[in-house]
Amino acid sequence: MKYLFLSVLFICTTWYTLAQKDSISTALKIELKTETYNKGVIIDTIEIPLIVKPTKTPVVDIKAAFWDNINHNPYQNSIQKFPLELSFSDSTYASPVLHKKVITSRYGWRRGRPHNGIDIDLVTGDSVVAVLDGIVRIAKYSNGFGNVVVVRHYNGLESTYAHLSHIAVKANDTIAKAQYLGKGGNTGNSRGSHLHLELSYKGQPIHPEYIFDFSSKNAIRSQRLWVTHKWAHARFHNSKRVSKIKLITTEDEAALASLAKQPRFYVVKKGDTLYGISRRNNMSVARLCKTNSINQNTTLKIGQKLVLDL
Ligand SMILES: [Zn+2]
């Protein structure tokens, strides 16, 4: 009996030590010694499968590239290929406001400019929370957005919460889905208290309603989906109208979509002029300006991405 007790103690100690040392082991082999009166020592080998619970650490290091605590779009001179593939481990998102979501303006063309997000009604002081897990990339005041928080999520998607009256997080904070980010408000370029929510992927704003169902279900429309350039450019939508959504959720549909004409972009280099860019691309300065909602006197910035055609 004494030997059996010691053996069990040995097993427990070995188990603990090995489990601590090597979390990727799949099985633990233990020699079990039992001393008997007539047969001497009997050695039995037992194998115990080890179940290692996967930790919830992100697969990709989302801070590894284009991590910028100042610029809203650090991806400026990188060009994405459509359709963009997105995958989600969750099937729902957390509503950014804690009351019923009333959309006052949608993603789309508005007063001659692109409206790259969705406006959700709120009263100044209402809580605003994160739609998914992630890391805060930006938490600061900026002229257009007012007090703004940008969160990068583990699938690369970013969510922007603008016009806040108070910011409760700091850049580089790791935050959970539904975590409090701050209070809604009317700061920056805003007409009345509301939350301007943008979703973007690698600098490309995406129509939020293509990804999220803004009804009370808070559903992510598909855990795997592809975004064509039509859902990543406000000019294809009207901020006053609901756009009819046809999701791309299979590899076959995505392959077909990738055959569609890709939008052409031009990244501004040193010494470029609107005249030079338009002449080299066989288009008028007027058309280049209209497509990019700029005027002929706009100063071009190096690295700025201009749309040549869509
Ligand atoms: Zn807005």
Give distance in angstroms: CA of 204 to centre of ligand 1: 16
Note the CATH number of domain 84-260: 2.70.70.10
Q: What is the pLDDT of residues 100-143, one digit of tens each?
A: 999 999 999 898 788 999 999 999 999 999 999 999 999 999 99
Nearest to 118 by CA among 93, 132, 101: 101
Q: Does domain 265-309 have CATH number 3.10.350.10?
A: yes
Cα 308 to ligand 1 centre (Å): 25
CA of 11 to the centre of ligand 1 (A): 62
Q: How far is the CA of 286 from the centre of ligand 1 (A)?
A: 27
Q: CA-CA distances (angstroms) from residue 49 to 13, 27, 52, 53?
A: 16, 4, 10, 13
The Å distance, Cα 91 to ligand 1 centre, comes to 25
- Tell me the CA–centroid distance for residue 118 and ligand 1, in Å: 5
Q: What is the pLDDT of residues 225-234, one digit of tens each?
A: 999 989 998 8
pLDDT tens digits, residue range 213-225? 999 999 999 999 9
CA of 194 to the centre of ligand 1 (A): 8
Cross-strand partners of 164? 147
84-260 and 265-309: same fold? no
Cα(239) to ligand 1 centroid in Å equals 9
pLDDT tens digit sequence for 57-108: 446 799 999 999 999 999 986 778 889 999 999 999 999 999 999 999 999 9
| 36: pLDDT strictly greater than 70 | no
Q: How far is the CA of 235 from the centre of ligand 1 (A)?
A: 15
6 Cα: distance to centroid of ligand 1 (angstroms)? 69
The pLDDT tens digits for 257-298 are 888 777 788 889 999 999 999 888 888 898 888 888 788 888
pLDDT at 76: 80
Using left for φ > 0, alpha for ψ between -120 and 50, and beta otherwise, residue 16 falls in: alpha
- 29 C-alpha to center of ligand 1: Å? 61
**Mind listing the pLDDT tens digit for each residue in 230-250?**
999 888 899 999 999 999 999
**Residue extents of the structural domains in the chain:** 2-49, 84-260, 265-309
C-alpha of residue 20 to centroid of ligand 1, in Å: 51
* pLDDT tens sequence across 135-173: 999 999 999 999 999 999 999 999 999 999 999 999 999
The rounded Å distance from CA 122 to ligand 1 centre is: 13
**Coil, strand or helix: which one is 277?**
helix
